[in-house]
Amino acid sequence: MISGSIQKFIRKLKRPVFTTHELAQASGKSLSTTTQSLKFLEKQGMVLKVHRGIWVDPNNPKVSPYAVIPFLLPRHRCYVSFISALHLHHMVEQIPQVITLASTSHTKTINTKIGTFCIHQLTPSFFKGFNWYKKTGSFLIAEPEKALVDSLYLSTRKRRQFGYFPELHFPATFSFAKAKKWADEIPDPKIRNSVRKKLNTLLTLNAKIVK
């Protein structure tokens, strides 16, 4: 049975997320045949289609909305930033309703069966300051200082919600000096100055709390 053959190739991938296209290539089957096999497996509860051409193994313990991120924009890279990254860095306790991503692609929202992702466009020269989450290679995430500056960057562009941080905590490892260096790399002078001012305000508030 073709579906059994597809299962073999899914197991060979050794990860919880995969695409129709890569399975078709690995198995040598056509896209339509591969899709039909995956639909059959979905009826058996063995796979789940979460978005166009993206599937997950619902029984894999490593399945999470974050595992899907590298597959959302096949022609662009994206990384977790803004409030979502601040939460993962334990700087914001409130769990975001959506996962916020930075990319050079156009701003948009992608709804999937495993989560909602809001992608916000950054200018290409400012698309940096990220690495693999906990060095696992599962998804990219902004370093704490860059995530904060990314948020302030968006807050100056008519997205004021990104400038409001409920219960923002700064761990001892957080560097305001590093955050200021990221702010200095913002190409637009008006936005750059605005972010600098917001950073100084946060620094002042944090200094009062520490005292």
Task: Give the chain's mean pLDDT.
Answer: 90
Contact 126, 153 (CB under 8 A): yes
pLDDT, position 7: 87
Is the predicted pLDDT of residue 161 greater than 70, yes or no?
Answer: no
Lowest mean pLDDT among 11-15, 16-20, 197-201: 11-15
User: What is the predicted pLDDT for the residue at 42?
Assistant: 95
CB 196 within 8 A of CB 183: yes
pLDDT at 70: 94
Kindly state the percentage of the chain with pLDDT values over 70. 92
CA distances to 23, 120, 129, 189, 192 from 185, rounded to whole Å, are 41, 18, 11, 10, 8
Convert the pLDDT of each residue in 142-154 to its tens digit. 999 999 999 999 9
CA distance 117 to 199: 26
Fold assignment, 2-56: Arc Repressor Mutant, subunit A (1.10.10)
**What is the DSSP annotation of 40-63?**
HHHHTTS-EEEETTEEE-TT-TT-
* Predicted model pTM: 0.90
d(CA 191, CA 46): 48
Tens of pLDDT, residues 38-71: 999 999 999 999 999 999 999 888 899 999 999 9
Q: How far is CA 4 from CA 27, 73, 91, in A?
A: 11, 29, 45
Strand order in the sheet with 108-111: 108-111, 116-121, 99-103, 78-80, 140-142, 130-132
| Span of 2-6, 22-26, 62-66, 148-152 with lowest mean pLDDT | 2-6
The domain segmentation of the chain, as residue ranges, is 2-56, 71-210
pLDDT exceeds 50 at position 202: yes
Predicted local distance difference test score (pLDDT) of residue 138: 86
